[in-house]
Amino acid sequence: MKSKYIEKDVKAVYEYIESNINKKDIPNNDVRFNNINELQSNIATLENNAKSYQEMENIFNKNKIEFLINKVSVITQKEKDQIVKLQAEETEKARLLAEEEKAKKEQELLLKQSVSDQFTPSPNASTSNNLNQTTDPVAEADEFRKNFKEQYGREPSSGEVQMDWLRKQGIVQ
């Protein structure tokens, strides 16, 4: 009778241990499955438990102990693989973010150079033309129209007046 109760107790302990292992198996759809720290903590717990199962030879037979240890190994391997996958994803994200930042900086630099080039007078612009910025633009346009009409015998178009002004500013040649 006593051995029957002991056998029942051993079976209950074994089932309890097995259910604890099952509870430690983090499902793929669980948020913790995508958290490296959670996975590492769970693996450490499972591996420590597996060591204690080996010391239970006087309670369970070798096959049952091996079954528990194999079950733990399957779970820990799955979680270790997930950690490797998550670390690779983090590395790839960091690499892409670094590339994106580099591209942004290069684009900003090109934009600054472009803006700088637009507002830098051409080397052919004389200093007297740069001084014209302080003169009356309407008077300059009238002077250009008068000279243009004398030279070509017609009124200049608005585009020709604008080009004259741009040349005087050193923006175009």
3-state secondary structure of 127: helix
What pTM was computed for the model?
Answer: 0.53
pLDDT at 172: 80
- CA 170 to centroid of chain Cα atoms: 43
Contacts of 125 (CB under 8 A, 6+ apart): 167, 169, 170
What pLDDT tens digit does each residue of the chain (173 aa) get?
556 666 778 888 889 999 999 999 999 899 999 999 999 999 999 999 988 888 887 788 888 889 999 999 999 999 999 999 999 999 999 999 999 999 999 888 888 887 776 666 555 544 444 444 556 778 888 889 999 999 999 999 988 888 888 888 888 87
Q: Quick count: other Cβ atoms within 10 Å of Cβ 106?
A: 10
pLDDT at 29: 92
pLDDT at 131: 47
Please say whether the beta carbons of 159 and 151 come within 8 A: no
